[in-house]
Amino acid sequence: MTEIFGVPLQALLGQLLLGLVNGSFYAMLSLGLAVIFGLLGVVNFAHGALYMLGAYAAWFSMDRWGLSYWWALLLGPLALGVLGALVERTLLKRLYGLDPLYGLLLTFGLALIVQGVFQQFYGSSGQSYSAPEALSGATDLGFMMLPNYRGWVVAVSLTVCVGTWFLIERTRLGALLRAGTENPTLVQAFGVNVPLMVTLTYAAGAALAGLAGVLAAPVTQVTPLMGSNLIIIVFAVVVIGGMGSIVGSIVTGLALGLVEGLTRVFYPEASSIVVFVIMALVLMVRPAGLFGKEK
Amino acid sequence: MKIRPVSTTLASFALAGAAALGLAAPAQAQISGDVVRVGIITDMSGVYADIDGQGGVEAIKMAIADAGGSVAGKKIELLYADHQNKADVAAAKAREWFDTNGLDLLVAGTNSGATLAMAKVAAEKHKLFISVGGGTSALTNEQCQPTTIHWAYDTTALAKGTGSAVTAAGGKTWYFLQADYAFGAALEGDTARVVEASGGKVLGVVKHPLSASDFSSFLLQAQASKAQILGLANAGGDTINAIKAANEFGITKSMKLAGLLMFINDVHSLGLKATQGMYLTDSWYWNKTPETRARGRRYFDVMKKMPSSLQAADYSAVANYLAAVKAAGSDDTDKVLAKLKAGKVNDMFMKDGWLRADGSMIHDMYLMQVKTPETSKEPWDYYNVVQVIKGEAAWTTKAESKCAAWK
């Protein structure tokens, strides 16, 4: 069997594929963060909590109302979008003129409150949520057994990422959004309702986090702390990709998943810090991140 | 601080003298402060809140209520606090309670780090300290204290239980998934020694970071080893996510999982479908005898879930402490300890338990196998007791011990 650095090629391929699966979660979460930061200038620390809420929405709708995974996939992001719009309208809106630090503090506080409330109600060991019948089972790829659900996650994530990128970078709506954040007064003078656009942007970012949460529910245990464990890595992804860069967040998310996967084979102990080591290196060479623009 | 000012030394002599006089005078009033104060410091909001936490507090309340709310004619008071899994918070709270609240017994809930820190404070104040949830065997080994009692279990007992029994049952080759910190290393090391001593073989270890985001790649490495048994030397959310991924990737078809530290709450939250067939060692299980079932049901009425072994141990520890206070007619640490050491503990938690010189409460441990969904008859009916690990067989031996008090 072919070996690379003492690791059989087949095992290596398997690990790379798993890295891609994890990377697609990173990509989708960091995409939401990048959209919110790029267009609103808000460092959304509540993103992890929104992701957790998405997973809980899936579990809750199954447990209480017997709704299937497919309904959760639709309703979860929708509910999170509405929640996001409410948060933006009632709280975030008041902070736009101020230092971005205030937005960070507000969203961080919100995240802590939501986590605390969920721990109080649902405890810390979490809830179990199974993958739908249609996606359970595994496919033999020759070099490994890939659970069908993980394949589905990669497909959905890539579709959503490309779709979002296209919407923002290539459509008229996206152009208006970008213009609205550059110069809100001028765009408003053209008859565009900028505050509404901003609200919808935050709602869309929240919905993306919710979608990632629903997708993650069958893969990991649904716990109140699932978001806070992931959010730090996702922030590192955004920083490496360049704050606010859509392409940057997608590409870096996937790439870091792969790097992490490789680290797990060659030196597993370092797998949780490899992302941060890369972040430090990137910041030394390119302070604005790989895809960011220098200001 | 090495040099103590002369005045305080004199003052403490004077105080000691006064205390001696005070004790000598009225022979009947032997309860300090006219109240027996019991405190529990545990994780009430973090990752270990389900296995002890509020449920542990409720269990102690039941023990106090069963004693009639008073002992030796004096009222029993309960204090409880959340240490948030921080050793410094735990130690500071313990100190405060001993110094200003006149605490007589401190029960330590979960978290080994916090437990070790509190044990030191209790020893310094010469107050009784019962550890229930902290698993580290250091408590009764290199860091043993005359005032410490380790009531429910320790990592050595878990390793000996699962390691030897599973190997004896034919699980000869092992691979470990180890949380990369002190606790994981201790658990993996202890178990690996037991496995090898029982004629098994350890094929490898993969270390994963604490709270790892994904376990699939570690599991594929374990599978590639072709070992029969996958030992999970981790805890809480890491164990749960590892088991979940093991099912998803079909690892459970070729390997049997052995949870080295698992509680019934973990099984409950994962469900039987994902955990069936797993081996684990625990100190107690509610659905074992009529007595344990009665205790479990009573707890269920209050908490709407069955008690973990730790919550049962909380009850047992405080109930036996109160009985010892009653027998001694005093809440003085040495007198209560003498009573606890003199008799055997027989209650719903343990049979013929006895307190060894190193502070270990010696009792049977149980190797259990998780039932299949078909054989489980009711909610929380999760285990078959496969083997009872009798008496001292589960615990550290005198040859292994580094505890000075047991040499």
On whether the CB atoms of residues B49 and A123 are closer than 8 A, the answer is yes
Contact (CB<8Å) B236/A14: no
Q: Distance between CA A169 and CA A176 in Å, rounded?
A: 10
For B78, other C-beta atoms within 10 Å of its C-beta total 16
Residue by residue, what is the 3-state secondary structure of chain A? CCEECCEEHHHHHHHHHHHHHHHHHHHHHHHHHHHHHHHHCCCCCCHHHHHHHHHHHHHHHHHHHCCCHHHHHHHHHHHHHHHHHHHHHHCHHHHCCCCHHHHHHHHHHHHHHHHHHHHHHHCCCCECCCCCHHHCCEEECCCCEEEHHHHHHHHHHHHHHHHHHHHHHHCHHHHHHHHHHHCHHHHHHCCCCHHHHHHHHHHHHHHHHHHHHHHHCCCCCECCCHHHHHHHHHHHHHHHHCCCCHHHHHHHHHHHHHHHHHHHHHCHHHCCCHHHHHHHHHHHHCCCCCCCCCC
B49 touches chain A (CB under 8 A): yes
On whether the CB atoms of residues A234 and A47 are closer than 8 A, the answer is yes
**What pLDDT is attached to residue A6?**
67
Q: Distance between CA B335 and CA B330 in Å, rounded?
A: 7
B207 touches chain A (CB under 8 A): yes
Which residues in chain B touch residue A222, judged by CB atoms under 8 angstroms apart? none
Domain ranges of chain A: 3-114+143-285
Contact (CB<8Å) B206/A19: no
How many percent of chain A have pLDDT more than 70? Answer: 97
Nearest CB to A221: which of B46, B220, B240?
Answer: B240
B residues 246-275 near A, CB within 8 Å? 248-250, 265-266, 268-271, 273-274
Q: Distance between CA B118 and CA B41 in Å, rounded?
A: 9
**Chain position carrying tokens 């199974």:** A130
Which residues in chain B touch residue A147, judged by CB atoms under 8 angstroms apart? 248-250
Number of residue pairs across A and B with CB atoms under 8 Å?
105
Q: How confident is the model at residue A2 (pLDDT cuts 50, 70, 90)?
A: low
**What pLDDT is attached to residue A294?**
66
CA distance to A13, A19, A130, B238, B336, per residue, from B213 (Å) = 20, 11, 18, 9, 47
Strand partners, B354: B362
What is the mean pLDDT of the segment spanning A269-281? 90
**What pLDDT is attached to residue A10?**
73
Contact (CB<8Å) B218/A268: yes
A26 touches chain B (CB under 8 A): no
Please measure the distance between the N-terminal and C-terminal CA atoms of chain A and give it in whole angstroms: 51
Per-residue pLDDT 10s for chain B (407 aa) are 344 444 444 445 444 444 444 444 334 448 888 999 999 999 988 778 889 999 999 999 999 999 999 998 999 999 999 998 889 999 999 999 999 999 999 999 998 889 999 999 999 999 999 999 988 888 999 899 999 999 999 989 999 889 988 898 889 999 999 988 777 888 899 899 999 999 999 999 999 987 787 898 899 889 889 999 999 999 888 898 899 899 888 888 889 999 999 999 999 988 898 899 999 999 999 999 999 999 999 999 999 999 999 999 999 999 999 999 999 999 999 999 999 999 899 999 999 999 999 999 999 999 999 999 999 999 999 999 999 998 888 899 998 899 988 88
Q: For A186, what's the count of Cα atoms within 13 Å in the CB-facing half-sphere?
A: 8
Dump the DSSP string for B349-390: S-SSBEE-TTSBEE--EEEEEEPPTTT--STT--EEEEEEE-
pLDDT digits (tens, 9 = 90+) for A130-187: 888 888 888 888 777 788 999 999 999 999 999 999 998 899 988 888 888 778 888 8
B84 touches chain A (CB under 8 A): no
What is the mean pLDDT of the segment spanning A194-200? 90
**Chain position carrying tokens 């003498």:** B338
Nearest CB to A123: which of B49, B210, B249?
Answer: B49
Greatest Cα pair distance in chain A: 67
Which residues in chain A touch residue B221, judged by CB atoms under 8 angstroms apart? 11, 264-265, 268
Does A244 or B20 have the greater pLDDT score? Answer: A244
A273 to chain B, closest Cα gap in Å: 9
Contact (CB<8Å) B48/A124: yes
**What pLDDT is attached to residue B361?**
96
**What pLDDT is attached to residue A295?**
57
Nearest CB to B271: which of A8, A128, A150?
Answer: A128
Contact (CB<8Å) B180/A269: yes
A40 to chain B, closest Cα gap in Å: 29
Over 70: is that where the pLDDT of A213 sits? yes
Alpha helix segments (H runs only) across B67-181: 87-100, 112-125, 155-158, 165-168
Contact (CB<8Å) B217/A264: yes
Closest chain A CA to residue B237: A125
Nearest CB to A126: which of B45, B211, B240?
Answer: B240
Q: Decide the pairing of beta strands A7-8 and B229-233.
A: unpaired
The helix/strand/coil state of B129 is strand
Does A28 or A294 have the greater pLDDT score? Answer: A28
Contact (CB<8Å) B217/A18: yes
Which residues in chain B touch residue A229, judged by CB atoms under 8 angstroms apart? 211, 213
What pTM, to 2 d.p., does this model score?
0.79
Q: Distance between CA B362 and CA B81 in Å, rounded?
A: 28
A138 to chain B, closest Cα gap in Å: 8
Q: Distance between CA A81 and CA B257 in Å, rounded?
A: 40
Q: What fold is seen in the domain A3-114+143-285? A: ABC transporter involved in vitamin B12 uptake, BtuC (1.10.3470)
What is the mean pLDDT of the segment spanning A180-198? 85
A280 touches chain B (CB under 8 A): no
